[in-house]
Structure 1
């Protein structure tokens, strides 16, 4: 039987790397995003005008059968401190991009994730403490961290033996990040393809997953470490 994965945010930089990695390994891949990923087996297209409830209904209604893994890498970044004129708009955007997508992924897991399956969400390394220059971003990612802890507890609604964790990257090596920070030290950035391979190892149990953990992803001198917290 063909293994299957749902990639929430499958048309972003990391999402595309994950779709590519799993397609190459003969998995059936469903991409959820606002635009289609042509590599994916199936695409579920969202509408930016959708409320959280509408987005949830759209996704749950479109995913058929049981899946081996669900990975939510939807999100974005916006800065701003408490004095920023964009504080409210940016914070609302960060909440929608990170928390709404993670909640829908969790609900989807309750409906479709196989026994022993994997649910991976996306937090952020900096959100483990204060983020004064990017308040909305930090709040949203910290909420995702809390969601992981809740889902790993008893009676969370997902399969009792499912594994749930979150990746906490510092900076991913993406075209957008390179464009925005052209003079940065790229040897401290994590390649998306490497993260994709690690998630594949988690999904296939080649690398054990401790449910409820946040996995810090730190790259230094082009070498990446993964540390559960």
Structure 2
């Protein structure tokens, strides 16, 4: 009888362990952790989705085109107005999420176009930059106000170059400087973000993407930031590790293959 009782006790203990009823000393990531990636079909967005997916996150991608790795996709139409895009995204997310909230909103949509004041394409390129960076960032802020969990992360994408003048790429500089201003505004009391939320912007120099390598084959790749460096920091910040201060503009600089993340001075 004693042997039978011991056998039952051991079996019950094993069952409890398998059900994770006993506390776990590790940091566990569950499938309930959900993030939104705005720009999920770009090079950086694709890398972020792959990185988070491997670590058990549920991911919704927002872009003009679907990302097959994402659990959900919200698709936009380029010809839609700013307001229409925002309304479509909010409606789609409300349907998908219900009362649930997300751990992070990561906005990595954007692009690059050059041109100084004398360029024939100045207005066209500036308009494109504003649509790609400013529209998406403001919509991401609106989305965060609606669907981000308390203490969640909103990350936008600025540019280190836009901390100063950008004479040869005026439209790009205007758009990225606006993202910087938006980030700092979102960190202030009364910004509309959930309680305890952190708004930050990364300010990279050059990202190591296939497109950049194609058009700049002779560049020093050791000064380009690997996409997984961004992804790993986003993961840390999403889970509350070494998260920058609210409103931080984080300069991302790679030199000799080593990448540093440093908050820019206000």
TM-score by length of 2: 0.85
1:210 deviates by 0.7
1:209 deviates by 2.4
Matches within 5 A, 1:140-155: 140-155=175-190
2:261 match: 226
- Is 1:197 aligned with 2:232? yes
* Number of residues of Structure 1 aligned to a counterpart in Structure 2: 229
Q: Distance in 1 between matches of 2:160 and 2:259?
A: 14
Q: Which has the greater radius of gyration?
A: 2
Q: 1:44 aligns with which of 74, 78, 84?
A: 74
- Is 1:7 aligned with 2:37? yes
RMSD: 0.7
Q: Distance in 2 between matches of 1:208 and 1:141?
A: 22
The structure whose residues are more often strand, as a share, is 1
Q: 1:35 aligns with which of 46, 65, 70?
A: 65
- Is 1:163 aligned with 2:203? no
Q: Distance in 2 between matches of 1:209 and 1:28?
A: 24
2:11 match: none
Q: Distance in 2 between matches of 1:85 and 1:39?
A: 40
Structure 2 unpaired stretches of 5+: 1-29
Kept in 1, the 8 Å contact 2:244–2:263? The answer is: no
Matches within 5 A, 1:1-229: 2-63=32-93, 64=97, 65-229=100-264
Q: Distance in 2 between matches of 1:161 and 1:206?
A: 15
TM-score by length of 1: 0.99
Structure 1 unpaired stretches of 5+: none
Kept in 2, the 8 Å contact 1:90–1:136? The answer is: yes
Deviations 1:52-96 (A, max 9, x none): 000001110111231110000000000000000000000000000
Deviations 1:82-116 (A, max 9, x none): 00000000000000000000000000000010000
